[in-house]
Structure 1
Amino acid sequence: MRKELHRITLRQLQVFRTLCSTLSYSRTAEEMALTQPAVSLQMRQLEELVGQPLFEYVGRKLYLTEAANLLLAASTDMFNRLDILDMQLEALQGTLHGELRLAVASSIQYLTPHLLAAFRQRHPQVSFRLEVSTRAEVIRRLRDNLDDLVLMEMVPADRALDFFPFLNNPVIAVAAPDHPLVGRRQLKLAELESQTVLLREAGSGVRKACDEFFQQKRVHLQQAMDMGSGETVVQAAIAGLGIGLVAAHSASAWLRSGQLVQLDFSDLPLFRSWCAVHARGKRLSPVAEAFLAFLREERALVKQLAAPFG
């Protein structure tokens, strides 16, 4: 290793990471409680040690150079290792301490806070950072190693991932109480070909599951409407726009209130599982390991917490 890199300080890296986030010397100075000239000096010294420019202006906008992206990735690994060390030292004293960084697909966003609250009852010193994203964004976050764990369904098969299915996620058909199919028993999926069907947007886990299911069953929807979220599918069904295909928990409150009715299709619900996912070979923090153990060992509690959403 070049000797100059040994002279890089944690403070320089902290300032650098903040500047990468803000892309503004003045905002970085404010966040780091420094003067703007002090931020500029720290970055000039860091560039001398790295031996390459880290930032460049195009017009009036600041951009990271390729060297900066490499340094940012390396510094992220370093600070993650320090976070893990902190947790491990706390664990030696018998206390689980630290932050769980969790990204979840929108289909499980309502249940997740209840899981975290139950986990925190066992480990009160733990804090959380929760990101709710689309399926595509969750997959990107997995690729970029931005989180400790991800909760999602339909885990990509083309990536090196370890995952643990911890809860069923049934997809059901719902409609307004005055829909013509309400009250009919053992409906065939072919009935959907002549109906307006409300679906999650392309790329979502529920939509991917539905598309694969209909292809397998040779059902060809003629009147499908794409909706941007499970909530939108539910509200569109309540409004009478058509039959909604949605994760059961997204519709649970409206089913209980009578604003929606679950239709009795013989081949539904369509069962998929929510999974806890991380990159294969990823070094998990003690908090992440403990949360995985919670999902594995507290299956009855997890189902109990999920019951109001099912």
Structure 2
Amino acid sequence: MNYTLNQLQIFLKVVQTNSITKAAEELNLTQPAVSIQIKNLQAQFDIPLIEIIGKKIYITDFGKEIAESAKSILDQVYAINYKTMAFKDQLVGRLKISIVSTGKYVLPYFLSDFLRTNPGVEISIDVTNREKVLESQLENEVDFSLVSDALDNPTFDSIDLLSNDLYLIGNSETAKMKPTFNYQDFKNELPLIFREYGSGTRKIMESYFKKQGVDGLKKIELMSNEAVKQAVIAGLGYSIMPIIGIKNEVKAGTLKIIEREGLPISTKWKLIWHKDKSLSPVSKAFLTYVGENKDQIKQKYFQ
């Protein structure tokens, strides 16, 4: 056997995401690079690790066992690294954080200085929708989660980070054509572009239009905020989106904010964790850092 730690890490990520594309994104690699490493790992075994049927990946039973072994090996490697750093009196450990998709515009700014001053800390971030983010907390799969809507759940403790304002948007041409449209028009010629079920942004949109007495909407459904944004820019319809993910396009004029009563919708970005979870030293240090520095971070990057 001649497999490498890098191959095991990449294979484990493919198993966890069930996708070469998603694994490449999370590892900041190209799809061909991931495919090559999986191919090289597979060459070490006579039994298939994965099967591709159509365009979908299926992990074989043997592949699942190898993934479990790979996780154990990598955990041992991390433990060795942590012990080495600990002997140097440095904070060491791993932080696992799940975030809603728009959270990628927020979380890095709360991590950068913390990681710079604590090089022994490693980060694992899972980007998904709200439903899966909360599920990861309830299953004790992560240390913290980042959500952006009201959270009335006694299971979680939380700390507010900053406000999250959502606006109705169209592209410059469609907004110009219908500057005074009525919400009832969404039933006919003006499609609304929604995120998938389980998304926090979708939940907010549906709640807003319900309050406006609008139902039976003409809808387009997409799986990511970036896809929604590009669809609106292309003129496929309108959507309600967090300003934090579209501010550059608004400044450039490719997207236009459409003013309506009840907008913007204001929520809060919250860092949450299970109240019964025993926080590790790294988790406690990060929570302390966020509490002490959130106002400065907000002022510096989100003013």
Give TM-score scaled by structure 2 length: 0.66
1:147 counterpart residue number: 142
Matched, 1:234 2:234: no
2:96 counterpart residue number: 101
Percentage identity across paired residues of the two chains: 22
1:253 counterpart residue number: 248
Shift of 1:292: 1.8
**Alpha-carbon distance between aligned partners in 2 of 1:183 and 1:301, rounded to the nearest angstrom:** 41
Shift of 1:140: 2.4
Which sits farther off after the overlay, 160-169 or 209-218?
209-218
The residue type equivalent to 1:151 in the other structure is L
Matched, 1:288 2:283: yes
The residue type equivalent to 1:176 in the other structure is N
The structure with the larger Rg is 1
Of the candidates 107, 116, 121, which is equivalent to residue 112 of structure 1?
107
Matched, 1:224 2:240: no
The residue type equivalent to 2:275 in the other structure is R
Shift of 1:305: 5.3
Of the candidates 227, 238, 241, which is equivalent to residue 243 of structure 1?
238
**Alpha-carbon distance between aligned partners in 2 of 1:64 and 1:132, rounded to the nearest angstrom:** 23
Which sits farther off after the overlay, 175-184 or 286-295?
175-184
**Alpha-carbon distance between aligned partners in 1 of 2:178 and 2:186, rounded to the nearest angstrom:** 15
**Alpha-carbon distance between aligned partners in 2 of 1:190 and 1:295, rounded to the nearest angstrom:** 44
What is the total number of aligned residue pairs between the two structures? Answer: 244
Which sits farther off after the overlay, 95-104 or 164-173?
95-104
In structure 2, list runs of 5 or more residues that go unmatched. Answer: 1-8, 16-39, 46-59
| Counterpart secondary structure, 1:178 | helix
Can you list the C-alpha shifts for 1:5-26, whole angstroms capped at 9, x where unaligned? Answer: xxxxxxxxxxxxx9xx799xxx
1:45 counterpart residue number: none
Shift of 1:284: 0.8
Shift of 1:169: 1.4
**Alpha-carbon distance between aligned partners in 2 of 1:112 and 1:306, rounded to the nearest angstrom:** 11
1:208 counterpart residue number: 203
**Alpha-carbon distance between aligned partners in 2 of 1:279 and 1:157, rounded to the nearest angstrom:** 13
For the 8 Å contact 1:230–1:247, the answer to whether it is kept is no
Distance 1:220 1:292, change over 3 A: same
2:159 counterpart residue number: 164
For the 8 Å contact 1:154–1:272, the answer to whether it is kept is yes
| Counterpart secondary structure, 1:302 | helix
Shift of 1:285: 1.4
**Alpha-carbon distance between aligned partners in 2 of 1:146 and 1:180, rounded to the nearest angstrom:** 43
Distance 1:181 1:197, change over 3 A: farther
Report the RMSD for the aligned CA atoms in angstroms.
3.9
Of the candidates 127, 132, 135, which is equivalent to residue 132 of structure 1?
127
The residue type equivalent to 1:61 in the other structure is D
**Alpha-carbon distance between aligned partners in 1 of 2:117 and 2:289, rounded to the nearest angstrom:** 9
Distance 1:149 1:241, change over 3 A: same
For the 8 Å contact 2:99–2:147, the answer to whether it is kept is yes
Can you list the C-alpha shifts for 1:221-277, whole angstroms capped at 9, x where unaligned? Answer: 522221211111111111111112111122122112211111112311111112111
Shift of 1:62: 4.9
The residue type equivalent to 2:106 in the other structure is L
Matched, 1:61 2:61: yes
Give TM-score scaled by structure 1 length: 0.65
Of the candidates 188, 193, 198, which is equivalent to residue 193 of structure 2?
198
| Counterpart secondary structure, 2:262 | coil
The residue type equivalent to 2:61 in the other structure is K
